[in-house]
Amino acid sequence: MPAKVLVVDDEPDLKALIRQKFRKKIRQKKIQVFFACNGLEALKILQTEPDIDMVLTDINMPKMDGLTLLTKISEAYPSTKTVILSAYGDLQNIRKAMNYGAFDFLTKPIDFQDLEITTNKTLQHVQQTRDALEKERLAQQAQAELLIHLQQEVTQRQRVEEALRGTQVQLTQFLEAMPVGVFIVDAKGKTYYVNQIARNLICKDIVLEATVEQLPDIYQAYLAGTNQLYPTERQPIMRALRGYKATADDLELHQEDKIVPLEVWATPIFDDQGRMIYAIAAFQDITQRKQAEAERHTLIEELFEVNCNLELALDAESELTDAAKRFVPHEFINFLGHKSIVDVHLGDQVQREMSIMFADIRNFATLSEKMSPKENFDFINDYLSRVGPVIRAHQGFIDKYIGDAVMALFPHTADDALQAAIAMQKQVSFYNWERQQQGDRTITIGIGLHTGSLMLGTIGESERMESTVIADAVNLASRLESLTKTYGASILISGDTLMSLSEMSNYYYRFLGRMQVKGKNILVSVFEVLDTEPTQLQELKWQTKTNFEEAIVLYHQDKFNLALKIFQEVLEINHQDKAAQFYIKRCQQLLESENYDN
């Protein structure tokens, strides 16, 4: 990797002289040289190239002198070394530079042999310093990893030793503490261990010499509801000895005065080599369960008749709920923590992070003037019937209609909201095609999206209330929608929405600047989504994206002359770019205002 040197001097001939001096190393890619005319340009280069090894800077320069630049480099880039250029007699500035952290200095006019020696010495020092820091970092990392490994090893050894000491006692205590009977046999089917609960359930002396095949006869285990001894091949513990897990709930113990129904679980136990060494069976008395099942069957029959009546009531309630959903979104009720609209109370509220959409038909008032009231309602309902399903299909719901405008909420992801906006624009394009076929005027809609925190709740009074959303985020989404007219955009989104997208590269967008939020002291970044623009217009906006955004940055830096020039170049390429037209007019107004003030 080549060493990086930044030369900062306002003398135009110095750049060519230095390139000539270091031409061989530049060709061999041993060194890479950057040039700046003043301290401000140097800081911009350092921002993009923070790993520059050496800065060679003059002291006396316009905009920012070398001593100021040296101070900023020492603060922000401590591993970068600075060499000062100064007149031979300027000892006072040289002393200041050394006090400010300069690594070395050269006098003017430059002795290029001295320059080469100083450059080699400086770069060698920087490399040695960085190598030492890297070695120290790696050593510290290795020591930390070794310490963690040793701690883990010690902890693991302690756990193993403690486990080995207590395994036998703990296992016995565990088996005795289990709330079920435990019966263990070895690999040959001989009884190995029986806990006290199992002894109490069996009510017989334990025969340690008995094999699995003998267990049903010894302990009087029968097939439930019969006088047949439980089949050996169906015994769960026999199946466990063959390597399978098994369960059964059709086994009964016949005792002198009662029958005890059991539920049994059995599983094999293997050693480290995969050899089966034990089979364990756990069982419990399920008398109460059997009684409960009988009672449950009776209760089901009694409830069946009640259920028939309830179904009629539920049908009526379902009709009411379906009707209510058309006025209050069911999602809104769910967010408030209720299942039905009848549970909603005045003042219910909840705070959530969501994406808010505002969509509005442009110039609707002009379009509406030529329609009768009925035609107005028919048109709006026809339009809303096209865009409403699109919103729901993308996990959103409509909070309210404001005339021809739609306010929708997307509670899951910002991608849902943006994809819905794109799909709505496509749906409107298809709708316009149908209107053209009928001889009607086409329509255009603008959509604004913002992602943020908002309050959902109910407002009003006891006899009349409605659901609503309150938040600055709502006002911002509405403001973005209104800006679509200003910028000639189909879809505008905030910076918060853009940063919330799962993959920004899936969309075409450009930066339109920052806007002041009404009543707030913050600026909000605005982005235009280009995915639904006509193909030619989208290509032109994408082609001029870099220049346009550069001009936006200059505009916000109050460099209106430079911004105006670039905006005019963008407009020459794309005559339809209303955003460029807006900023050209705005720059001209600001420049005229400055001239008037002066």
Based on the domain organization, do 499 and 367 belong to the same domain? yes
Torsion angle of the four alpha carbons 298, 300, 305, 307, in this order, in degrees rounded to the nearest 10: 160
User: Does any domain span residue 167?
Assistant: no
What pLDDT is stored for residue 517 in this prediction? 64
Domain boundary among 117, 132, 147: 132
This prediction has a pTM of: 0.46
Let me know if residue 216 belongs to a domain. yes
Q: How far is CA 36 from CA 73, 80, 183, 278, in A?
A: 14, 16, 86, 81
If asked whether residues 263 and 381 sit together in one domain, one would say no
Please tell me whether residues 341 and 379 are part of one structural domain.
Answer: yes
- In terms of domains, do 453 and 506 share one? yes
- Both 7 and 68 in one domain: the answer is yes
141 within some domain = no
Residue 123 and residue 37 share a domain: yes
Residue at 107 is within a domain: yes
Read off the tokens for 154: 């010690």
Helices 112-177 and 12-21 pack at an angle, to 10 degrees, of: 80
> Same domain for 523 and 542?
no
CATH number at residue 222: 3.30.450.20
Nearest to 280 by CA among 168, 178, 166, 201: 178
* 452 & 475 share domain: yes
CB 424 within 8 A of CB 484: no
Q: What is the pLDDT of residue 484?
A: 93
Rg of the chain's alpha carbons, rounded to an integer?
A: 41
Q: What is the pLDDT of residue 340?
A: 45
How confident is the model at residue 530, as a pLDDT?
94
Q: What is the mean pLDDT of each run of 10 residues along the chain (598 residues)?
A: 88 85 87 90 90 89 88 88 80 83 84 86 86 84 83 79 67 80 88 86 82 85 89 88 89 86 91 88 86 80 71 51 47 49 48 89 80 84 90 89 87 93 94 89 92 72 56 84 92 94 92 78 89 91 94 93 95 94 94 68
Same domain, 257 and 108: no
The strand ranges marked E within 362-463 are 397-402, 405-410, 445-461
What's the per-residue H, E or C state across 98-142?
Answer: HHCCCCEEEEECCCHHHHHHHHHHHHHHHHHHHHHHHHHHHHHHH
Q: Using the Cα atoms of residue 416, residue 419, residue 422 and residue 428 in order, give the sign of their dihedral.
A: negative
Domain range enclosing 467: 332-532
The number of domains in the chain is 5
Same domain, 185 and 197: yes
**389 lies in the same domain as 499:** yes
In a shared domain, residues 114 and 26: yes
Question: What pLDDT is attached to residue 373?
Answer: 83
Q: Where does 226-375 show beta strands of DSSP type E?
A: 246-254, 259-270, 276-285, 349-361
In a domain, 142, yes or no: no
